[in-house]
Chains A and B, each alone.
Chain A
Amino acid sequence: MARTASSRRLFNSTGKYFILILMAVIALYPILQMWMTALRPSNEVLRSPFALPSELDWSNLTKAWTQGRFGTYLVNSVIITIPTVIGVVVLSCLAGYGISRFKFWGRGIMFLTILLGLTVPFQSVMIPLYYQLLNMGLLGTYWSVILPGIAFGLPFGVFLMQSFFEDLPHELAEAGRIDGSSELRIFWDIMLPLAKPAVSTLIVFQFMKTWNEFLMPLLYLQDEDMRPIPLGLMFFQGAYTRDIGLIAAGVAISTIPVIIVYLIFQRQFVKGLTAGAVK
């Protein structure tokens, strides 16, 4: 009897682990394949594309960095991504906190209007936005991607932060008031540190979204020296269509910052995803 129960348990857990390992392989294999291709000597790429590299060859990475101008693209991506992420996070935190904490007239409509932004696809406004940026003299500057990037990031950011602040106990803010804190200080000293998981989640999401943004810079940044990584990757692919190892190296380089950001915020990010699930 006991033997049957324990073999059933073993079978169940083996089955669970099999499925989990299979999922992990499906998720990780393309990344592994990309790195193997990037680090494989060029003559091996077509001959044995799925085998382990016979030796580690860093030349594709150095070539992509120098010939593909990935150094420039990386700097451009950083110039665009960091202000966009900061803008979205700062404004989302302030707006989310304000909407969750203060009961003012039109609060519900304001929140719904912001949420409505989630349903507006960029393609529907890209042409009017082009002319608007042109009229404002911003076309062809980093601002032409940063400002719309912030605008398109805010609906999700405000939604996320509002829900998080809404779940924080209101007594904490009241205790702050009794202690003599101003509203801004309550936000800064008490509520914002508690919102770290949500802020981390927002940073990771917004970073990935901005880092991978393709259409907006394609339309509004026409100077080659201002191109961010996804755009650079496209032109790089066009120029080196036949050199798969080189293209894989370019793609690998472009993913490094996203992986670093994810690893930095990963612990808080996971907390943020599950926040509010259990009191």
Chain B
Amino acid sequence: MVEVILKNVKKSYGPVEVIHGIDLHIKDQEFCVFVGPSGCGKSTLLRMIAGLEDINDGEIWIGDKDVTDLEPVDRGISMVFQTYALYPHMTVRENISYGLKVSKTPQAEIDRRVADAASNLQLNDYLDRKPGQLSGGQRQRVAIGRSIVRKPDVFLFDEPLSNLDAELRVHMRIEIARLHNRLDSTMIYVTHDQVEAMTLADKIVVLQAGQIEQVGSPLHLYDDPDNQFVAGFIGSPRMNFLTGKVTGVDGNITNVSVDGSDVALTLSENSPSVGDPVTVGIRPEHLSVGGAGAQITVRPDVTEQMGGVGYMHTYTKDDIHVVAEIKGRIAESATEAEQVALSFDPSQAFVFDASGARLR
């Protein structure tokens, strides 16, 4: 059982606190992904778990060990860096085996483990090459190989795919998912790419400004975000946010004026008061041209045809950008119209109060 537990972990640089007391429980064999915008503290948090950054307060437990004050090597972790951090003067074989040599593992065991890792990662033909002679994807595989030969309890990945091109990224993402299935280890993965987060994670931790915004499975975060930040961050293209004002409350039904149209929304847990400003969030796939339900009138701008689906970029009369995902093809004449009515089912809309908290 290798769980990772963070208890009220804090980090400051001088007087500036960058991680504000994080509590987190990552279960054994779980694939946990930290996501958030640049500067939110996700890499810092990962480095704190690795032992590369000291923490100012709190505790970090890996398995049944308090590792807060332990050196990285004593924590039972291994890490894959964004820049691969391969030793350029060593061959692939030397890179993979370096950690084992340092720990004085017998040579026969080193050879066996390197051969295993090389065959799992299809690196057999490159063992005697130096990193400079490898492609980006091969280098990334060497970095993963260096990580797995040490048989760590927890794998840490710091944006490992961000230096690869789009095609290789998809390929390596699948490789990492396979690796997780094969090794059944606890993995913590940092990324700002939410497609990686959605496809790889068992659990996503959304961070903003050094705080956890929400923790949950990818679809849970997508379907039931706690606040406007998570709703906007998870999902691509991002959720559309329209400003509105509460015009009436009748039991569970809250009437909101959005872009001049009255929309009746069902809010059973926490109703706002009449006159309160709210934000209505609608995912692009929940908008359609014409159709039944609530409607907003928009000005078409440009379209993006992806083949199976298309995206219509539009603007409301208040110049709020709204994207609609249209199944199939979008007619070329769509952008020629002065105005288009987009409709949505009010039960699929999300409502947020002025502070960004979700109203349910």
Point out residues on A near B: beta carbons under 8 Å: 169, 171-172, 174-175, 177-181, 185, 189-190, 193-194
Contact = CB atoms under 8 A, between A and B. Distances in A.
Given A169-B83, A171-B81, A174-B81, A179 B102 contact: yes
A180 B87 contact: no
Contact of A175 (B51, B71, B81, B89): B81
B83 A171 contact: yes
Contacts of A189: 87, 98
Nearest to A196: B89
B87 A175 contact: yes
B72 A181 contact: no
Q: Chain A binding site: helix, strand, loop or mixed by DSSP? A: helix
B77 A178 contact: yes
Contacts of B103: 180
- Chain B interface, >50% SS class: loop
A175 B146 CA distance: 10
6 contacts: A171-B82, A174-B79, A174-B81, A177-B52, A180-B102, A181-B102
Contact of A193 (B51, B89, B146): B89
B52 A179 contact: no
Most chain B beta carbons < 10 A, residue from A169, A175, A180, A185 = A175
Given A179-B99, A179-B102, A185-B102, A174 B85 contact: yes
Nearest to A182: B102
A177 B77 CA distance: 11
Nearest to B89: A193
Nearest to B78: A178
A174 B46 CA distance: 13
Interface residues of B, number: 23
Interface of B: 50-52, 71-73, 77-79, 81-83, 85-89, 98-99, 102-103, 146, 150
Contacts of B79: 174-175, 178
B83 A179 contact: no
B99 A172 contact: no
B199 to A, nearest CB: 26
Pick the most buried of B78, B86, B88: most chain A CB atoms within 10 A of its CB: B88
A192 to B, nearest CB: 10
A177 B75 CA distance: 11
Contacts of B88: 194
Q: Which of B50, B52, B77, B86 has the most CB of A within 10 A?
A: B52
Contacts of B86: 175
3 nearest A-B pairs in the assembled complex, by CB-CB distance: A179-B99, A180-B73, A171-B85
Contacts of A190: 87
Contacts of B85: 169, 171-172, 174-175
A199 to B, nearest CB: 13
Contacts of A177: 51-52, 71-73
B237 to A, nearest CB: 33
A171 B102 CA distance: 18
A36 to B, nearest CB: 43
Contacts of B89: 193-194
Contacts of A193: 89
Contacts of B98: 179, 189
A180 B77 CA distance: 11
B336 to A, nearest CB: 46
B141 to A, nearest CB: 15
Contacts of B72: 177-178, 180
A194 B90 CA distance: 10
Given A177-B52, A177-B71, A190-B87, 16 more contacts: A169-B83, A171-B81, A171-B85, A172-B87, A174-B81, A175-B87, A177-B51, A177-B72, A177-B73, A178-B73, A178-B77, A179-B99, A179-B150, A180-B72, A193-B89, A194-B88
